[in-house]
Structure 1
């Protein structure tokens, strides 16, 4: 413990120094280099990307890495350090270490015996911590995050920031006595408030250092007002559902929920839209790729980024770099907000427009402005366009 206390003291001094430096720069925190036109992309993990030059080779570039393996700077790309929500991120601090040093920090399930891991890996689980405890928050920040900041990471990537109590967390032991914190059920208001408070704590302490907090938040994990409060507590919303999830296009009320959140969030926050297309990205259905890009452009804000990943054998595949010609489309910058036309939505850009039909059943005929329009697939459209259910078009003005 003595060595650890020294480490915390050093981290405390480091925090003070960082804060003093950061206060000289009062510019609002933003992801760097993101253009107003085209489609800016994000890479989701990078352990299988051997050549970082791929990010900046094409017309539409990659500007952010969620969970970068190295702190090495990449020109034009913001890197983030991965952290697993409320679980201990370093395996050397295992369950036995916490039982010996901080037994009152461990969160258990309703049986009062099983740690509320959430996920179990081949090496076991990452220790679930009571992030409502101020001491835990300070320890997590100083022991794990500030060293990453010192290495050069500009964003902390907080994964699985769900407002639903999916790990089944129930309580902890304090001096051997059981303390009930949560119901153990998925919909738990105390759990929601503590998670929001945890993210707010990180933002309040890291933003003055010039470091942003990105959170993987499930949009359907709690009532809408609670989810929005969580989104507003961080700088960047990572949306793992996007508008295509597990290979299927999102439609109907689920689509509308995503759209409604983005009307409020995308204009003022960073946003990363992960879309898991069916099969390998390079061989995926062109119509699904156009749907993904059309939805992104329909809702994008100045700090929005798109990620297109494969969904193969019932599993999302991250870590790899994927690119195909359609991803290089550029219809300029948005000139207005999305507008509803019948069951579909449209948005105008300086060099084109997008059309999205989120209905799962209804085909929609949309009147086009005068002139000729070309789809990503090269089709020429005039006067009207038929938009099938769960489909979209990115149209370039000719």
Structure 2
């Protein structure tokens, strides 16, 4: 069956099965109804969660799953289908298959020999595809994404949508002749524009079906104006760096960069903040847990979700993680984040959040009048001392 006809028939099949997707368009509230109180959570992959009822058993619930194996989840949890962005998601269609069937779709590095894989796994690499090619975009949409939509997924999770050309992609072969597309260097404006237009293409195709696009975008992979253009093209920004990455707190200039982007994105976009704390979740330092929670509360928006996972050589995804500190109930925010000397703060209905992003300076702040407790118990002192790269949350007693 010709590809175009198959694509149209698949769209008709999808349309016939969609009765009601969301009360609002996918681009408006892609994560559904998120409570303003507490810590709304996200789950990162679910292959190690045998019983999804755990998502709803604590004070603060899971509302979104990045890369779920099942489109239907308990409650109103939104499940997304994982796709590796510019790489072919079907292992059976390996490099030899593409060389035989679509040789001009493969992206190569500058040596004109090495495929621009980016990642190499135990089984090899996923074939890097030239998504600047309209035929490749249509193929990826029809062959991989639309079948997932037909199964019931209402969000597609596009991984590694970085604006830095880290795989070293440079060009392709057309009818056996080399065609240069990019410089092969990390900062490449043509590569950046290709990635932005790829995500915009997906959004344009999927929004009429009530399907949103989530993108894992590294905030520091390009100049800020380029990063913001990319994020505006997606409905949900998955931030794998968060404020703690590979067990290390993000402070100083990197923290300021993160804050500036978040202030532009979270008022109108979905946001998933992944924070990889040092060690396993049950053994992690309480101070680092509080740092993560404080930063999330400081800068969260109406469609923001928190994901906390351990890190030991690599991130411990797939499993459901929870700790007593996550039971926090602080009410809704009553103001925006703002600085008080070197400390950033934000008031909530039932508490106050403080963050000291300095990598070297200790901060001191006066405790407001009233009775307060911290995540660890009652507060007696009248002055708080915030160590470098630390956060604190006060809750009304």
TM-score normalised over the length of structure 2: 0.95
Query: Aligned partners of 2:364, 2:22: CA distance in 1, in Å?
Result: 54
Question: Which residue of structure 1 lines up, in the alignment, with residue 359 of structure 2?
Answer: 360
Residues 66 and 26 (structure 1 numbering): CA distance in 2 closer, same or farther, change over 3 Å? closer
Residues 156 and 119 (structure 1 numbering): CA distance in 2 closer, same or farther, change over 3 Å? same
Query: Aligned partners of 2:15, 2:133: CA distance in 1, in Å?
Result: 22
Shift of 1:8: 3.6
Shift of 1:294: 0.3
Query: Aligned partners of 1:388, 1:25: CA distance in 2, in Å?
Result: 43
Does the 8 A contact of 1:375 with 1:394 survive in 2?
yes
Shift of 1:34: 1.3
The residue correspondences of 1:83-162 to structure 2 (distance < 5 A) are: 83-162=83-162
Shift of 1:25: 6.5
Query: Aligned partners of 2:243, 2:43: CA distance in 1, in Å?
Result: 17
1:310-341 Cα offsets, whole Å, 9 max, x none, are: 011x2111101111100111111000001101
Residues 21 and 154 (structure 1 numbering): CA distance in 2 closer, same or farther, change over 3 Å? closer
Does the 8 A contact of 1:71 with 1:151 survive in 2?
yes
Query: Aligned partners of 2:21, 2:311: CA distance in 1, in Å?
Result: 41
Matched, 1:305 2:314: no
Shift of 1:154: 1.0
Unpaired runs of at least 5, structure 2? none
Q: CA RMSD in A?
A: 1.9
Question: Which residue of structure 1 lines up, in the alignment, with residue 185 of structure 2?
Answer: 185
Question: Which residue of structure 1 lines up, in the alignment, with residue 394 of structure 2?
Answer: 395
Question: Which residue of structure 1 lines up, in the alignment, with residue 210 of structure 2?
Answer: 210
Shift of 1:26: 5.1
Residues 276 and 194 (structure 1 numbering): CA distance in 2 closer, same or farther, change over 3 Å? same
Does the 8 A contact of 1:7 with 1:143 survive in 2?
no
Question: Which residue of structure 2 lines up, in the alignment, with residue 78 of structure 1?
Answer: 78
Higher mean C-alpha deviation, range 68-77 or range 195-204: 68-77
Question: Which residue of structure 1 lines up, in the alignment, with residue 250 of structure 2?
Answer: 250
Unpaired runs of at least 5, structure 1? none
Query: Aligned partners of 2:396, 2:337: CA distance in 1, in Å?
Result: 18
Question: Which residue of structure 2 lines up, in the alignment, with residue 44 of structure 1?
Answer: 44
Residues 198 and 381 (structure 1 numbering): CA distance in 2 closer, same or farther, change over 3 Å? farther
1:220-279 Cα offsets, whole Å, 9 max, x none, are: 100011001001010000000000011011100000111111111011100000000000
Does the 8 A contact of 2:14 with 2:149 survive in 1?
no
Count of aligned pairs between the two proteins: 396
Query: Aligned partners of 1:206, 1:3: CA distance in 2, in Å?
Result: 21
Matched, 1:320 2:316: no
Question: Which residue of structure 2 lines up, in the alignment, with residue 58 of structure 1?
Answer: 58
Shift of 1:383: 3.6
Does the 8 A contact of 1:29 with 1:210 survive in 2?
no
Query: Aligned partners of 1:330, 1:103: CA distance in 2, in Å?
Result: 55
Does the 8 A contact of 1:334 with 1:350 survive in 2?
yes
Does the 8 A contact of 2:22 with 2:32 survive in 1?
no
Shift of 1:13: 3.7
Shift of 1:76: 2.3
TM-score normalised over the length of structure 1: 0.95
Shift of 1:387: 1.0
Does the 8 A contact of 2:199 with 2:234 survive in 1?
yes
Query: Aligned partners of 1:25, 1:320: CA distance in 2, in Å?
Result: 31
Shift of 1:280: 0.5
